[in-house]
Amino acid sequence: MPTIEDLHSGLGRGPHRGTASVVAVTTKASSAGIVNTVSTPGVRRAFTPRKKKKPWKSWLLFLLFAGPNVALLIVFTYKPLLQSLYYSTLQWNLGSAAAIPVGLGNYVSWFTDPGTSRVVTVTLIFTVATVGGGMVIGLLFAVLLNRKLHGRGAARTIVVAPYVLSGVAVGLLWLFVFDPNFGITAALLDAIGVASPPWYNDPHWALVMVIIVYLWKNVGYVALIYLAALQSVPRDLLEAASLDGASPMRAFRNIVLPLLGPTTFFLSITTLLSSLQSFDIIQAMTKGGPLEGTTTMMYQIYQEGFQAGRAGYSSAVATILFAVLLVVTLIQMKYVEKRVHY
Amino acid sequence: MAPTRTSPTTTTPRRRQPLQLGGYLGLVLAIAIMVLPLVWMFLAGFKERDEIYTVPIQWLPEAYDLSNYAAALAAVPFGNFFLNSTITTVIGAGLKMLLGLTTAYAVVFLEFPFKKFVFGLVIFALLVPQQIVMIPNFTLVASLGWINTYQGIIVPGLASAFGTFLFRQHFLTLPISILEAAALDGASHWTRLWRFIVPISAPTIAAVALVSIVSEWNEYLWPLLVVDRADMMTLPVGLTLLQNNDGVTNWGVLMAGTVLVTVPVLIAFFALQKRIIAGLTAGGVTG
């Protein structure tokens, strides 16, 4: 995974001047010709780019090979990112021709809206519970699957299976599991003499419900990545620790966990990104309700933009969320880079 | 890669009987949590109304007849959903792979003054969630007249960022001697990519392709936005039509529909699990 420094140096001009000029010097002798790259044999046309004779031929090929992908990214990711920033300064309804510039008005109304603190709280709870809970449960599963137990291969497959299913289908089938009268949870709770909580009608329980379903669907991925990392922990290191009298718990905390650092770092970023983007489960199960109890910022962006039609306001929320996402990711990279040894 | 490979030192057997028992209990519990909801869905697909609305709950249906499936198929055009999902997944995932392979090849093997910048551009896109850009993209797609079309569903999400990253990581590990031999043969870059690099990268490509297919197949938000005609809907979008057909949820029919959406994926997953798991792990291990 490239560090954010790589991205920055990619954005800066400095280093490239150097490489570019080297290429220019080594390739001055080359003669023109685009098509005959194909048919030029010879020892000197070795594969490594440094020995290339015709730089701009390579540049042209580069554009042919990478150009379409980059063009798509510009048209459907980077340009809309800037557009979204612009839309956020408009009072504009989706599909309408009239747009009034309001400056930072949308931002002001979001920050001063009485409902905003609830949306932020819901987002925080959902994110912390799904990312943190996912990592803890995923690691537990991974440790379990790493033991020499019969059937652990099959168990690994089964634990990962929900991850490949459609979020909508998962949400719908869990809606039936959670049915307060006729579902599995109601039956299980009834068996221990507890009445089923009103999963559908209470904003707090609804949030718990979508968090559980999100964890069920995604925890297998975390377990899988941790398992792969655990399998690369040298066994003799643990045996040495055990000979030294360290308890398994201690060995795990002092040897295994630090070695899992890079994996935890990777997972913290990827699971945060996917948790913040979760839409399918919420849409299938609660549509953000009841009483907006499951409306995360991401869901609010959808709702404001496409249900309420307030595209400008929605874009402002999107911009705020993206800014938060960028800052959090940057902090993660900066902070964790110092503490993790690769 | 090769995430599942265990090191030779891991073969020493450990004998801790009480812990083993706890381990098996944990394993059974984990499997039960994962499997029970799916079993519940599967069984509900066969249940009559009175078998569903019953306390205490009844696990097994009286008879395994397909009336709920017939009702689901009659209520919404599942055939269209299936066809639309197949078309958008095959074309979308196929083109995405092609773009990822060519971009990674360019970044690794071709010379370009702003190569690092281009790669940075591709990687940074991973940080931009689809929802952040959906309003401008929706506006663009609508202005192109692409609402309710396959290109409207496919094109905006076509660019390959993660695939490019994984292929690049893989290409960097390829033995240079093979590629030098190809260059000596006078093969063009296009030929080198398809005749030399793709064949020796087949396991990686298959793994990434499968993960890409799964995510295209399950894609929900974007198709939901750009399609409002039932005959153009993909499976996840169309499935929700069963949800609010008559105000009250008919669980039997809805679960039958959910089975139709999930079971093909589950079968494919269990058949190809080694490759899919390799694909899922690829990102984590190279990180």
Instruction: Give tens-digit pLDDT for A78-94.
Output: 999 999 999 999 999 88
Contact B160 A186 (CB under 8 A): no
Number of H helices, E strands in chain A: 17, 2
**Which residue among B23, B115, B220 sits closest to A168, beta carbon to beta carbon?**
B220
**What's the distance, CA B23 to chain centroid?**
31
| pLDDT above 90 for B51 | no
Contact A164 B26 (CB under 8 A): no
Chain A residues within 8 A of B189 when measuring between CB atoms? 37, 61, 65
> What value does the mean pLDDT take over residues B37-43?
93
* Tokens at A93, concatenated: 């309804």
| pLDDT above 50 for A29 | no
| pLDDT above 50 for A32 | no
pLDDT for A336 equals 67
pLDDT tens digits for range A262-288: 889 889 888 998 999 899 999 999 999
pLDDT for B245 equals 52
Least confident of A183-187, B52-56, B259-263: B52-56
Least confident of A227-236, A241-250, B36-45, B124-133: A241-250
pLDDT for A141 equals 94
Where along chain B do its domains lie?
Answer: 17-65, 71-286
pLDDT for B286 equals 47
Chain A residues within 8 A of B7 when measuring between CB atoms? 231-232, 234-235
pLDDT tens digits for range B60-91: 888 888 899 999 999 899 999 999 999 999 99
Q: Measured between CA atoms, how close is A319 to chain B, in angstroms?
A: 7
Spatial distance between the Cα atoms of B224 and A235, rounded to a whole number of angstroms: 49
Listed by number, the residues of chain A in 238-297 with a beta carbon closer than 8 Å to a beta carbon of chain B are: 239, 262-263, 265-267, 270, 273, 276-277, 279-280, 283-284
pLDDT for B131 equals 87
Contact (CB, 8 A) for B259 and A165: no
> What value does the mean pLDDT take over residues B122-151?
94
Q: Which CATH code for domain B71-286? A: 1.10.3720.10
Q: Does residue A112 belong to the interface with chain B, where contact is any CB pair within 8 Å? A: no
> What value does the mean pLDDT take over residues A237-242?
82
* Most confident listed range (A234-248, B9-23, B211-225): B211-225
Contact A84 B217 (CB under 8 A): no
For the CA atoms of A158, A161, A163, A169, the dihedral, rounded to the nearest 10 degrees, stands at: -120
- The percentage of chain A sitting over the pLDDT mark of 90, rounded to a whole number, equals 54
pLDDT for A46 equals 43
pLDDT for A139 equals 95
Contact (CB, 8 A) for B182 and B192: yes
Residues 6+ apart with CB under 8 A from B22: none
Contact A169 B276 (CB under 8 A): no
pLDDT for B283 equals 65
The average confidence (pLDDT) of chain B is 87
- DSSP 3-state helix, strand, coil percentages of chain B (rounded to 5)? 75, 0, 25
With 0-12 CB in 10 A as exposed, 13-18 as middle and 19+ as buried, what is A185? middle
Contact B12 A329 (CB under 8 A): no
Which of B261, B249, B283, B269 is CA-nearest to residue B82?
Answer: B261
DSSP states of A54-103:
-HHHHHHHHHHHHHHHHHHHIIIIIHHHHHHHHHTTEEEBTT-S-EEE-T
- The percentage of chain B sitting over the pLDDT mark of 70, rounded to a whole number, equals 90
pLDDT tens digits for range A96-127: 888 899 999 999 999 999 999 999 999 999 99
| pLDDT above 80 for A33 | no
With 0-12 CB in 10 A as exposed, 13-18 as middle and 19+ as buried, what is B232? buried
**DSSP conformational letter for A30:** P
Contact (CB, 8 A) for A293 and A204: yes
pLDDT for A43 equals 37
Cα→Cα distances A35→A38, A39, B197, Å:
7, 8, 22
**What's the distance, CA A23 to chain centroid?**
37
- Substitution target from A143, A173, A230 for chain B, most B beta carbons within 10 A: A173
| pLDDT above 90 for B284 | no
- Substitution target from B78, B110, B241 for chain A, most A beta carbons within 10 A: B110
pLDDT for B22 equals 84
Contact (CB, 8 A) for A308 and A299: no
* Tokens at A202, concatenated: 């209470």
pLDDT for A37 equals 34
Spatial distance between the Cα atoms of A248 and A237, rounded to a whole number of angstroms: 12
Residues 6+ apart with CB under 8 A from A157: B269, B270, B273, B277
What does pTM read for this prediction? 0.85
Cα→Cα distances B105→B114, B214, B269, Å:
15, 24, 29
pLDDT for A338 equals 63
pLDDT-derived band at B263 (thresholds 50, 70, 90) equals: very high
Contact B287 A262 (CB under 8 A): yes
* Tokens at A52, concatenated: 């290339």
pLDDT for A342 equals 45
Spatial distance between the Cα atoms of A195 and A185, rounded to a whole number of angstroms: 10
Spatial distance between the Cα atoms of A183 and A212, rounded to a whole number of angstroms: 15
pLDDT for A195 equals 87
Q: Does residue A19 belong to the interface with chain B, where contact is any CB pair within 8 Å? A: yes
Q: Measured between CA atoms, how close is B181 to chain A, in angstroms?
A: 8
pLDDT for A147 equals 87
The CATH 1.10.3720.10 portion of chain A extends over 110-339
Higher-scoring residue by pLDDT: B187, A299: A299
Cα→Cα distances B188→A40, B99, B197, B198, Å:
9, 18, 12, 14
Residue of A nearest to B177 (CA): A47
Residue of A nearest to B33 (CA): A216
Cα→Cα distances B106→B114, B161, B199, Å:
12, 14, 17
The average confidence (pLDDT) of chain A is 82
| pLDDT above 60 for B198 | yes
pLDDT for A38 equals 34
Contact (CB, 8 A) for A303 and A288: yes
CATH architecture for residues A110-339: Orthogonal Bundle (1.10)
